[in-house]
Amino acid sequence: MQNIDWGSLPFGYFKTDYNVRCYNRNGAWGKIEVSSSEYINIHMAATCLHYGQEAFEGMKVFRGADGKVRIFRWEENAKRMQRSAEGIMMAEVPSELFIEMITKVVALNEKYIPPYGTGAALYIRPLLIGSGPQVGVKPADEYLFMIFVGPVGPYFKEGFHPVKMQIVRDYDRCAPLGTGHIKVGGNYAASLKPAARAKEEGFASVIFLEAKEKKYIDEAGPANFFGIKGKKYITPDSHSILPSITNMSLRQLAADMGLEVELRHVTVEELGEFDEAGACGTAAIISPIREIFDRETGKSFTYGEGEAGPYSTKLYNKLRAIQYGEESDPYGWTTVLDI
């Protein structure tokens, strides 16, 4: 076990001992390589550097109450990465290779898996890049798939405490028929400026609107948005939203709690009708929202008295308990890694 202050880890890069890599050349995946270098040697004309042929995933591994190491819904991340690859014409990573490499890199870095009870987890970052050279705008003929890991604390320094978010109208994260539904780097590049400005202005994150009509909520920074209205769990549906695996799971848990689940357009005006609001994703599960400020109209929507609402709290606790193996996992969402 490493001598790490697990309880105060940030959500950030943490050097561990090994990463794993695999190349796709001439249309075939090669052997898995283990590396202890944090660097990759890459051709200067690689398509990932010029034309954005890059996709990634973000997942977590948890040390459970029973000492077992669990990964959450990895099949969904594998499928999403395949959709990302297909969307920008990269070689797809088969699910079997995806989980084999995860298992290997987690086993190699086992001492960095945070102990149960610290609230920390081991973050897994699969990365797929076009590594072959091109000068014309064309897909590469060589791809590198690699995975690194590192222990992380919660994404928002506030943890499970309500944050303030800001609606932006002068930036879009993606185009209506663009790449918002897949996890490719360009979407994140486009979000950097409004996110940095929101931080400077005192907000934890931005809320992007659907770019065509600017009427509907799209995403809450690098997370999906949801609201609770009476006995309903409501979350936006749009082609430009990344389908969050956390949101997919919360929808199921919400239905199990007797909430009606609605996946549909959510207008800015409707924000005024919610009892609770939150952002959801792997990094934080749920970040409850206490205020949404519309930067252009100056209008504010507020939720609760500074504490997370009852449904958000229940949903958060339930999903967390499944991930840490504290409660039964009726849908088989977790897989115990044999490491």
Ligand X SMILES: Cc1ncc(COP(=O)(O)O)c(C=O)c1O
Binding residues for ligand X, per CB under 6 A?
A: 58, 219, 222-224, 242, 244-247, 281-282
> Within the chain, what is the greatest distance between any pair of CA atoms?
59
- Please say which residue, 48 or 182, places its beta carbon nearer to ligand X: 182
Q: Are 265 and 237 within 8 A, CB to CB?
A: yes
Alpha carbon 124 to chain centroid, angstroms? 11
- Please say which residue, 46 or 85, places its beta carbon nearer to ligand X: 85
- Please say which residue, 78 or 245, places its beta carbon nearer to ligand X: 245
CA distances from 281 to 57, 60, 244, 310 (A): 12, 11, 6, 19
Ramachandran bin of 154, using left for φ above 0, alpha for ψ from -120 to 50, beta for the remaining angles: beta
Radius of gyration of the chain, Cα coordinates, nearest whole angstrom:
20
Q: How far is the CB of 242 from ligand X (least distance, A)?
A: 4
Q: How far is the CB of 77 from ligand X (least distance, A)?
A: 7
- Please say which residue, 132 or 185, places its beta carbon nearer to ligand X: 185
| Amino acid at residue number 334 | T
**∠ CA(305), CA(217), CA(51), 5° rounding?**
125
- Please say which residue, 24 or 244, places its beta carbon nearer to ligand X: 244
Q: How far is the CB of 176 from ligand X (least distance, A)?
A: 15
Q: How far is the CB of 71 from ligand X (least distance, A)?
A: 13
- Please say which residue, 132 or 151, places its beta carbon nearer to ligand X: 151
Q: How far is the CB of 108 from ligand X (least distance, A)?
A: 24
Q: Are 270 and 235 within 8 A, CB to CB?
A: no
- Please say which residue, 222 or 236, places its beta carbon nearer to ligand X: 222
DSSP class of residue 133? Answer: B
Q: Which residues of 236-264 are buried (b: 16+ CB within 10 A; e: fewer)?
A: bebebbbebbbbbbbbebbeeeebeebee
Q: Are 286 and 233 within 8 A, CB to CB?
A: no
Q: Which residues pair with 143 in a beta bridge?
A: 24, 130
